[in-house]
């Protein structure tokens, strides 16, 4: 990878869990894929705790996630970043977007938006009702980004080209909620830029969030990293493994079978000669063998029983 001057830039990847509960098999896949991609490129691998959504955060979950990563043999570089300690940076970005006229206050309720009846790929599309109303900030007012309908696309390193027309597919989206909470899309683009992330490796459930993030990067003059979206693990009912779908925590004391299962999920099942190998040998083998071309080119895979 080179920058505009042709100087080789060091690969910097990341894992960005939300501390809503202990790590489950789905998050282990994202951690494993991003780690192997970074280590196989002799790059850095950073950990960022996405703890902005305080009502959904489970006390102690961030520390538990870090303990689990450590028990599985993940070694992160630099200090762990916590989004909850970075709110002034996000507010600064909001002011820049306001000054640039890219965002506006919106007083519409969810019910009002649903009543407009425009349904896009991801649910109700905001029809731009408050765009021209020039509302001030106040109780119950969110901040939305004004979108346009030009295609915003990118070449995913695994799934190929993906593009969206934001105005018709998502509508103007919220970057500060009515309760004052900074939305994920704004925090993630500010942090990926601040941490110098060169490639984002994460689950394909976030593929369709990427055009919104690229749009924000452009408005804020931030670089766009490369993206690689991994298949996500789903349960028997086709739902993504998550706290909401009651995904079980992965074992803290017996990591090896879970790690081997994550590798199998990514089509890098360890050979039988490594059956008795320790975590260190397993990681060494995986880093040497890692080839993203081998990962199944699909968005979702039914979970393989870890043990
Ligand atoms: N915090 C998000 C999650 O746990 C991941 C965000 C990202 O990788 O961009 O699902």
- Which atom number of ligand 1 is nearest to the Cα of residue 209? 9
Q: How far is the CA of 205 from the centre of ligand 1 (A)?
A: 10
Rounded Cα gap, residues 257 and 90, in angstroms: 40
Same domain, 81 and 192: yes
DSSP assigned state of 137? P
pLDDT at position 3 is 54
Q: Is 73 a member of any domain?
A: yes
**Domain range holding 62?**
12-85+188-302
Q: Is 40 a member of any domain?
A: yes
Same domain, 198 and 264: yes
Rounded Cα gap, residues 197 and 237, in angstroms: 34
pLDDT at position 302 is 80
- Give the tokens for residue 228: 């690689």
- Which atom number of ligand 1 is nearest to the Cα of residue 15? 8
- Give the tokens for residue 172: 């103007």
Q: Is 55 a member of any domain?
A: yes
User: Is 21 touching ligand 1 by the criterion CB < 6 Å?
Assistant: no
Domain count, the chain: 2
Q: How far is the CA of 18 from the centre of ligand 1 (A)?
A: 6
Q: Is 2 a member of any domain?
A: no
Last residue of a domain, one of 132, 161, 184: 184
Q: Is 307 a member of any domain?
A: no
pLDDT at position 151 is 98
Q: Is 7 a member of any domain?
A: no
SS3 call for 216: helix
Residue 206, classified by CB atoms within 10 Å of its CB into exposed (0-12), middle (13-18) or buried (19+), is middle
Q: How far is the CA of 75 from the centre of ligand 1 (A)?
A: 19
- Per-residue pLDDT band for 6 (boundaries 50, 70, 90) equals low
Q: What is the pLDDT of residues 37-73, one digit of tens each?
A: 999 999 999 999 999 987 777 789 999 999 999 999 9
Looking up tokens 């309760």, which residue turns up?
179
- Per-residue pLDDT band for 307 (boundaries 50, 70, 90) equals low
Same domain, 195 and 287: yes
Looking at the DSSP bridge assignments, the partners of residue 123 are 120
SS3 call for 171: strand
Which is nearest to 292 in space by CA: 226, 205, 223, 208?
Answer: 226
User: Is 53 touching ligand 1 by the criterion CB < 6 Å?
Assistant: no
Residue 181, classified by CB atoms within 10 Å of its CB into exposed (0-12), middle (13-18) or buried (19+), is middle
Q: What is the pLDDT of residues 276-295, one digit of tens each?
A: 899 999 999 999 999 999 99
- Which atom number of ligand 1 is nearest to the Cα of residue 27? 4
Same domain, 65 and 131: no
Last residue of a domain, one of 169, 184, 199: 184
pLDDT at position 122 is 74
Predicted TM-score (pTM) of the model is 0.94
CATH number at residue 125: 3.40.50.620
- Per-residue pLDDT band for 155 (boundaries 50, 70, 90) equals very high
CB 224 within 8 A of CB 214: yes
Q: What is the pLDDT of residues 191-200, one digit of tens each?
A: 999 999 999 9
Q: What is the pLDDT of residues 228-280, one digit of tens each?
A: 999 999 888 888 888 777 788 999 999 999 999 999 999 999 999 998 899 99
- Give the tokens for residue 227: 């993206």
Same domain, 133 and 282: no
User: Is 306 touching ligand 1 by the criterion CB < 6 Å?
Assistant: no
pLDDT at position 53 is 82
pLDDT at position 35 is 98
Last residue of a domain, one of 161, 184, 207: 184
Q: Is 32 a member of any domain?
A: yes
Same domain, 65 and 113: no
């Amino acid at each position: 990878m080179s920058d505009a001057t042709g100087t080789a830039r060091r690969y910097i990847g990341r894992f960005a869990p939300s501390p809503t509960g202990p790590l489950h098999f789905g998050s282990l896949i994202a951690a494993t894929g991003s780690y192997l991609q970074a280590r196989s490129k002799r790059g850095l691998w950073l950990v960022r705790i996405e703890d902005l959504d305080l009502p959904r955060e489970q006390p102690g979950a961030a520390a538990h996630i870090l303990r689990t990563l450590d028990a599985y043999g993940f070694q992160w570089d630099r200090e762990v970043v916590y989004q909850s300690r970075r709110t002034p940076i996000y507010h600064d970005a909001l002011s820049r977007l306001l000054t640039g006229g890219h965002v506006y206050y919106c007083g519409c309720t969810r019910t009002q938006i649903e009543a407009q009846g425009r349904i896009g790929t991801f649910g109700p599309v905001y029809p731009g009702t408050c765009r021209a109303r020039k509302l001030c900030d106040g109780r119950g007012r969110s901040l939305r980004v004004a979108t346009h309908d030009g295609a915003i696309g990118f070449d995913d390193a695994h799934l190929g080209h993906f593009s969206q027309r934001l105005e018709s597919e998502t509508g103007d989206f919220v970057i500060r909620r009515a309760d004052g909470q900074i939305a994920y899309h704004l925090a993630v683009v500010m942090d990926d830029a601040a941490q110098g992330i060169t490639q984002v490796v994460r689950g394909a459930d976030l593929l369709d969030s990427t055009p919104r993030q690229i749009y924000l990067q452009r408005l804020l003059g931030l670089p766009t990293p490369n993206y690689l979206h991994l298949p996500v693990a789903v349960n028997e009912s086709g739902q993504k493994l998550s706290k909401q779908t009651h995904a079980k925590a992965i074992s803290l004391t017996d990591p090896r079978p879970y790690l081997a299962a994550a590798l199998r999920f990514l089509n890098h099942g360890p050979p039988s000669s490594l059956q008795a190998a320790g975590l260190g040998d397993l990681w060494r083998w995986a880093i040497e063998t890692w080839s993203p071309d081998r990962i199944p080119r699909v968005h979702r895979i039914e979970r393989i029983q870890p043990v």
